[in-house]
Amino acid sequence: MVTNTDIQDLGHFINGQTVLGKSGQFSDVYNPSTGTVIARVPLATKQEVQEAIAAAQAAFPAWRALSVGKRAEIILRFRQLITENIDELIDMICTESGKTIEDAKGEITRGLESVDLAINAPHLLKGEYSVNVGGHINAYSLKEPLGIVAAISPFNFPVMVPLAITSMAVAVGNCVILKPSERVPCSALFLSELWKEAGLPDGVWTVINGDKDAVNELLCHPAIEAISFVGSTPVAEAIYATASKHGKRVTALGGGKNNMVVMPDADLEHVANAFLGAAYGAASQRCMALSTIIPVGEDTANKLVGILADKIAKLKVGPYTDAEVDFGPVITQQSKDAIIGYINRSLEEGATLVCDGRNPEISKQSNGFYLGPTLLDHVKPGMEIYEQEVFGPARNVVRVASLEEAIALINAHELGNGVTIFTNNGAAARKFTTEIEVGMVGVNVPIPIPVGYHNFGGWKRSRFGEGHMFGPDQVRFFTKAKTISEKWIEQGNDVTSSFAFPSNQD
């Protein structure tokens, strides 16, 4: 683990090599558990981004021409290297993001699902073939890589999201430029070394570190064919607008306000346990974290809040080196201050405090960015903490009288990432899954994240563009279709001109 006395100057990974930044501009990388600076990451200039793109352009023809089977072999070796180096990767994730060891391991496991799907690219790239569609013509289709694609990943999943939004792009023959969050660059640079060791040709994989100047160059450069982004909704919308204006294919995934509806027939002890991990895991810094629990009926709400209050009081916050902690710090001091602001304003707006996490005991002993779990009751639509995505451990209780009211409430919100219902009533579950306007839905599943071979993506302002973060749609997103009509003329046959529009009647 990097200690607070080892402030390391990081670089970029361009054309198969780690290179130092040229701008002279750096961003500090913190260990959120201690509040100390552990590294400095360079902020790339426009020229550096252009150099990275040029290296990718040079590598593309050979990578595209390589057999898909050989590409799959390299990806399989990359997967093996991740598992062989998983302890080092876990330590890196925990150090730069503050996650617990268990959470970091789970992130890597989920990321490997995307790598597994990419290994199956030879099957997923198969086209279609039709014999004698008319006039002794055979027609077939194939999928070709786009060329150079860019991926922009967030701080909350330093490994899973980069793997999810790049693995298939590499497998189908593209060259990829990853711009990771400047808050967690170490994991992305480590993945670069594993790609190199796996045998990926230089230039096929690039990591360029930077801020919005680097991002803007990726969004506007004519050589970049597609952009895949994961982050907040305002940034996702801006990414989509800019990249689309420059003719790029875009998938931009934004935030979520994910709800858990609790029916009166549900086992409330089970509900409470499910809510804790889904709501507070990773300090609630997940786009699929449960932000609001919606009990149906006052009796259900009163019982559930009592159970939650008792369980939340027992949660432990601390550094990942303590095996007993349930979750760690938020990513920065600025994030901590913003979350406290949300809590304070919600109380001014009329919410009631069930559990107060603003001053956890560990904050007295550490400079880390710690917040304890907060639960607010009697939150109502229109309150800031209900409307906005709060990326931290401040969760809400919204009381409703019926399932219909819960559905209407959720459907009225501008975000539609994930939602779940807890019930033992099949009719209620069917009504909910049919009528709810959300992209990923769970029934008695607290975090309904699809496995890597299903599509991940929300609805409404949780997703801009038509692609998905992982799943089979990634093959379509990172390729372009070509359809070929082919006819061979036998020697000696007369060929005459025809001025009729071609048809399949011959």
E-state strands within 86-180: 129-134, 137-145, 148-152, 175-179
**Coil, helix or strand at residue 313:** coil
Instruction: Select from 464, 423, 453, 419 the least CA-distant residue to 439.
Output: 419
> How far apart (Å, rounded) are the C-alpha atoms in residues 226 and 57?
14
**Coil, helix or strand at residue 110:** helix
Q: Which two tokens stand for residue 99?
A: 């996650």
Q: What is the DSSP string of 134-145?
A: ETTEEEEEEEEE
Q: Return the exposure string of 177-206: e unless at least 16 CB atoms fall within 10 Å of the residue's CB, then b.
A: bbbbbbbbbbbbbbbbebbbebebbebbbb
Please give the order of strands across the beta sheet that includes 26-31.
Answer: 8-9, 36-42, 26-31
One-letter amino acid at 353 equals L
> How far apart (Å, rounded) are the C-alpha atoms in residues 499 and 497?
7
Instruction: Report the Cα–Cα distance between both ends of the chain, in Å, rounded.
Output: 71
Phi, psi of 35 (to 5 degrees): 75, 15
Torsion of CA 367, 370, 376, 380, to 10 degrees: 90
Q: What is the DSSP string of 404-415?
A: HHHHHHHHHSSE
The number of beta carbons lying within 10 Å of the beta carbon of residue 445 is: 15
> How far apart (Å, rounded) are the C-alpha atoms in residues 503 and 320?
67
165 sits in which H/E element: helix 160-171
Q: Which of 94, 175, 186, 287 is catalytic?
A: 287
One-letter amino acid at 214 equals A
> How far apart (Å, rounded) are the C-alpha atoms in residues 151 and 142?
24
Note if 220 is an active site residue: no
**Residues identified as active-site:** 287
